[in-house]
Amino acid sequence: MIVPVGGLGAGLSLEHLTGAQSAEATGSSLSAGQATEATAGTGGQSGGFGGELTEAISSLEGTQQSSDAASQALATGAVKDPESAVVTVEDAQLAMELASQIRTKAAEAAQSIFATQV
């Protein structure tokens, strides 16, 4: 769900946890068309850094909502395959950790730029 954020991900991609891949891996309720629309994000907009960041945050939110639904279904016993629910929750946890690390690196980079003397 998370896309590279202006090169700060150093090759890490949030797309590994989003859309069709997430739906296939976790048995999510998204159809293939919905997953494609979710990963398409901004559609015809030029995007840029702001667009990519917005898309990544939206994707992260979707992953978290999917995790909430899976954990709730697991707690109520509505899940036929508990492993898929656990995988969904773990994917959401990894996505959140990645987003947190990217945020930290971006903050460190901004502080470094501000501290640079001209």
DSSP letters spanning 39-76: HHTTTTS--HHHHHHHHHHHHHHHHHHHHHHHHHHHHH
* 87 in a structural domain: yes
Tally of domains within the chain? 1
* 70 in a structural domain: yes
In this prediction, residue 117 carries a pLDDT of 81
pTM, rounded to two decimals: 0.57
* 3 in a structural domain: no
* 62 in a structural domain: yes
Domain that holds residue 81: 14-115
In this prediction, residue 109 carries a pLDDT of 95
* 1 in a structural domain: no
* 72 in a structural domain: yes
Q: For 25-79, what is each residue's pLDDT tens digit?
A: 444 444 334 444 444 444 545 679 899 989 999 999 999 999 999 999 999 999 9
* 5 in a structural domain: no
